Amino acid sequence: MSTKWQILLWTIATIAACTLLLFVLDREQEHRVGRWSTYLVGNPRDGQGLFTSKGCARCHGINGAGEASAVNLGSVASGGSGPQRLATAMWNHGPEMWKRMSEEKLEYPSIDRQEMSHLFAYLFTAQFAAEPGNAARGDELLRSRGCQQCHSTGDGSARPLGGAGASYTPVTWTQAMWNHSTVSDPGMNRARWSGGDMADILARVQGSAGGAVEDDALLRASPDRGWKLFQEKKCESCHALTGDEAAAGAPPLVRDDHLPATILDLAGSLWMHGPQMPGAESPAGISWTRLGAQETADLIAFLYSARYTEPGGSARVGEVIFDGKGCTRCHGPRAEGGGNGPALRGRGVTYSSIALAAALWNHGPNMYARAVASHEPWPVFSEDEVGHLLTFLNTSAEMSSH
């Protein structure tokens, strides 16, 4: 064969190989695309009711409220890593929970996928409220920051922060910090607030007003309405949601290193942001605007839910994990079904963290009993492994065989 023909054949082979590689990478990328968080499909208020009616509150507290004999679910839901964090914790914690419920003869309720989505929405709402603050430290902060030059925490001559008629919640406190942020006074200390400062001050103010109240606006919050407000208030003119920077140089809002961990930390950031806002003379027509309580709650819901996506991953890595964790013993080599377990793929079911949590809750006790009877260990997963596993389960059996 002449050199000319060899070069031609090698060129054709190279093009074919590159085309195949691009096809494989494209198919892999399809399964790495994230989805919006469970907050967008669940109802926090319904989740709050289910948390009590399903008996979760008998053992689990939420950021200082409720029983504390089991894991604080508010802290489990936090961390910015998305719904897979909670689903992973539920899976790994399952055997301990089932054993305890059996020992205490607790009723085991069923929870369907929709109910699980409401529970997830409630838990991710609860995490934004954070732990209760320290009222004594809050009192000291009010003095050191000069707040008491204009405000009292009772019914004194200064404008009261607590006392008659005051009923601040994390949302309404954040609203007040934003609406108050453009006020300028020579005695006002604009030093940056650190984590927990606003929680301490709110604890002091709530103490003067008779205690904390339920954050009803947050339970009614709508991320969809928040997204519309984000555009209507022209926040996106300066702030990108993701990426490095928006056109005006402001930081992206939903990256974990920019979005504060809790609502009250966000309140501190908004307070500091007021003096940096463009004036009415801005060429882009951007000016500071007041917010209502529900508007504040909707914006909070949008910002915090925007950073949560379903985990992505590799279907091939997920298949290896599926085999390595022993799932194939019941569900077959490629999750196509086996003698002791149903098929998990090819049934037209889309798997998500919520679907995994619901399936675990309803079928986990029997799975665990079978594992114990067979002297098999209960598999433990990391969050990354859950992402790969869900990606694998959402592909067809034909795809993984090629």
- Residue with structure tokens 């399903």? 54
Q: Is residue 147 part of a domain?
A: yes
What is the per-residue pLDDT for 211? 55
DSSP class of 235: G
Q: What is the structure's pLDDT at 32? A: 43
126, containing H or E segment: helix 113-129
| pLDDT > 50? residue 34 | no
Residue 299 shares a structural domain with residue 320: no
Residue at 260: amino acid letter? P
User: What are the tens digits of pLDDT across the range 164-202?
Assistant: 445 788 899 999 989 888 776 666 666 677 778 898 998
pLDDT at 108: 93
Contact 390, 357 (CB under 8 A): no
The overall pTM is greater than 0.75: no
Q: Which residues pair with 159 in a beta bridge?
A: 151
The string of pLDDT tens digits covering residues 306-315 is 766 666 788 9
Could you tell me the two tokens for 325?
């964790």
Judge contact between 138 and 200, C-beta under 8 A: yes
Residue 192 belongs to a domain: yes
Q: Tell me, what's the pLDDT at 59?
A: 85
- Whether 187 is in a domain gets the answer yes
As a whole number, the mean pLDDT across the chain is: 77
Judge whether 27 lies within some domain: no
Mean pLDDT of 70-78: 61
Place of tokens 């928040």: 226
Lowest mean pLDDT across 114-123, 213-222, 234-243, 254-263: 254-263
Q: In this predicted structure, what is the pLDDT of residue 151? A: 76
Higher pLDDT, 90 or 44: 90
Same domain? 248 vs 180: yes
pLDDT for position 155? 53
Query: Which residue range(s) make up the domain with 374?
Result: 38-129+311-400
Same domain, 216 and 74: no
pLDDT bracket for residue 30 (50, 70, 90)? very low
Q: Does residue 164 share a domain with residue 96?
A: no
The enclosing H or E element of 399 equals: helix 397-400
In this structure, is residue 16 part of a structural domain? no
At which of 287, 304, 321 does a domain end?
304
DSSP string covering 165-234: T----HHHHHHHHHHHTT---TT---PPPPTTHHHHHHHHHHHHTTS----HHHHT--HHHHHHHHHHTT
Using the structure block, give the residue that is written with the tokens 């936090």.
Answer: 78
Residue-level pLDDT at 295: 95
Residues 125 and 145 occupy one common structural domain: no
DSSP string, 4-62: HHHHHHHHHHHHHHHHHHHHHHHHHHHTT---B-GGGTS-HHHHHHHHHHTTGGGT--B
Number of domains in the chain: 2
Q: Does position 25 have pLDDT exceeding 60, yes or no?
A: no
- Residue 92: the pLDDT is 94
User: Could you say which of 304, 334, 360 is where a domain stops?
Assistant: 304
Question: What is the structure's pLDDT at 260?
Answer: 82
Identify whether residues 235 and 322 lie together within a single domain.
Answer: no
| pLDDT at residue 382 in the model | 92
Rounded Cα distance between 396 and 376, Å, is: 28
Which of 255, 270, 304 corresponds to the end of one domain? 304
Q: Are residues 327 and 379 in the same domain?
A: yes
Note whether 223 and 205 are same-domain residues.
Answer: yes
Q: Above pLDDT 90, what percent of the chain?
A: 24
Same structural domain, 166 and 290: yes
* Mean pLDDT along residues 71-95: 74
Q: Has residue 17 been placed in a domain?
A: no
Rounded CA gap, 170 and 132, in Å? 10
Q: Is the pLDDT of residue 274 over 80?
A: no
- pLDDT per residue as tens digits for the range 122-154: 887 776 766 678 889 998 988 888 887 777 765
- Both 166 and 114 in one domain: the answer is no
* Beta strand segments in 51-161, E: 151-152, 159-160
Per-residue confidence band for 42, with pLDDT thresholds at 50, 70 and 90 = confident
Predicted pLDDT of residue 125: 78
pLDDT digits (tens, 9 = 90+) for 317-374: 999 999 999 999 989 988 888 778 888 987 777 888 889 999 999 999 999 999 999 9
Question: Residue 97: what pLDDT?
Answer: 92
Residues 194 and 152 occupy one common structural domain: yes
Q: Are residues 255 and 143 in the same domain?
A: yes
Residue 218 lies in a domain: yes
Let me know if residue 349 belongs to a domain: yes
Largest CA distance in the chain: 101
The answer for residues whose C-beta is within 8 angstroms of residue 98's C-beta and 6 or more apart is 364, 365, 368
Among 78-87, 112-121, 151-160, 379-388, the minimum mean pLDDT is found in 151-160
